[in-house]
Structure 1
């Protein structure tokens, strides 16, 4: 479980995050939702320690991360897996070398153990025998799966995904969503996903936090998302045609009842 307490962050006098608090639960897909420029990625960076909040704190399973001793912060960082927006694979490395990279950096595993772990992770994301391929030889969806394999390779406790469906077609996006959810549940990981994709929200939104202009305006699940009375959130939701259609169906059903 990850907890954030009263997070504030400004850049050059402009407030980007304004007092955000919340809990991200273990074994569930926790989504940070909002439009562009609402502070989602900045909040994610504050949580993982890439940025330091001006005010506020972050705890990982009860251990304070913000402003704690360096060795404690480093120990927590070793438990973090990251799936970057563009997959961020090393172009000059093979698929196997990309996945092995964090194992070399963060563990003392032997070469044979690293090889076994790479093969296991590739199998888990459905990319058996892709070891020798270069990033330029695989599709966007495959790159995302390699990125997931690399993120979970060091047996991460916490998984952070920044726009995992960016640039993917709807069918591949759905596959990536469900792969992340399956891995989260299977390994009991605390997963936080930054997204603006309402399809992802409805498919895998165990817990959703909606940000608008740096503030948390709504929190809930995909089951009660249509019941919101928050004006800004309703406008965001119904800018998506799928959600407008879902609302129409629900209203028609209510009228019949």
Structure 2
């Protein structure tokens, strides 16, 4: 479980995060939802320690992370897996070397054979067995995301952070990546936080959702109650998508027919 307490962050005169608190549950897919520029990625960076909040703190399973001793912060960092927006694979390394990279960094004493076993396990888990020797330039966008996920879970992470995992993917591939992240979250009981503005992800895997708007948390809930929200900014965000508007009309129509019968 990750908890954030009253997080504030400004860059110069620009206030990006304005007193955000919340809880991200273990074994669940926790979504940070909002339009571009609402502070989602900055909040993610504050949680993982890439950006220091001006005020507020973050705890990982009850251990304070912000402002704690370097050794304790490093211990927590070793348990963090990151999936970056562009997959961020090393072009000069093949798939196997990319997935092995965090293992070499974090567990340099691990025997080579053990490391290869772990790499193969992770590649198989994301459906990419026998892709070890392929270069990033030889694989599709969806496969790159899968390699990114394999690399993120290679060090047996307790916490998994995904920044816009579906960006640049076609809808079917995006759906498969969502499903894979959810499966891995449940299987390894990770605390997973996903930054997204994709309503499909919300409907498919939104166990817990925090909606940010202009640096504030305006709503919190699940995919089951997001359509019933009374928050105008969230409604505007959800129903900017015509498909979502039509879905709501259908839902309301069905409810109306139930009442009338």
Q: Which residue of 2 aligns with 1:240?
A: 241
Q: Provide the residue aligned with 1:67 in structure 2.
A: 67
Partner of 1:196: 197
* Distance (whole Å) between structure 2 residues aligned to residue 134 and residue 61 of structure 1: 37
- Does the alignment pair 1:89 with 2:89? yes
Tell me the distance in 2 between the aligned counterparts of 1:245 and 1:220.
22
Q: Would you say 1:208 and 2:248 are equivalent positions?
A: no
Please give the alpha-carbon distance, in whole angstroms, between the structure 2 residues aligned to 1:122 and 1:254: 45
Matched residue of 2:230: which SS?
coil
1:245 positional shift: 1.5
Shift in Å at residue 250 of structure 1?
1.2
Q: Name the residue aligned to 1:252.
A: 253
The structural deviation recorded for 1:222 is 0.2
TM-score by length of 2: 0.98
> Residue deviations 1:63-117, cap 9 Å, x none?
0000000000000000000000000000000000000000000013110000000
Q: Which runs of 4+ in 1 moved over 3 A?
A: none
Residue 13 of structure 2 is matched in structure 1 by 13
State the distance in 2 between where 1:176 and 1:245 align: 25
Structure 2 unaligned segments of length 5 or more: list them: none
Query: Structure 1: where are the runs of 5+ without partners?
Result: none
Report the equivalent of 1:174.
Answer: 175
CA RMSD in angstroms comes to: 0.5
Q: CA deviation at 1:242?
A: 2.2
**How far apart, in 1, do the equivalents of 2:98 and 2:253 lie?**
51
Query: Number of residue pairs matched?
Result: 257
Q: Report SS of the residue matched to 2:131.
A: coil
Residue 42 of structure 1 corresponds to 42
TM-score by length of 1: 0.99
SS in 1 for 2:87: coil
Matched, 1:131 2:132: yes
1:120 aligns with 2:117: no
Q: Determine helix, strand or coil for the equivalent of 1:41.
A: helix
Separation in structure 2 between the aligned mates of residue 160 and residue 93 of structure 1, nearest angstrom: 23
Partner of 1:33: 33
Aligned to 2:230: 229
The whole-number CA distance in structure 1 between the counterparts of 2:225 and 2:126 is 31
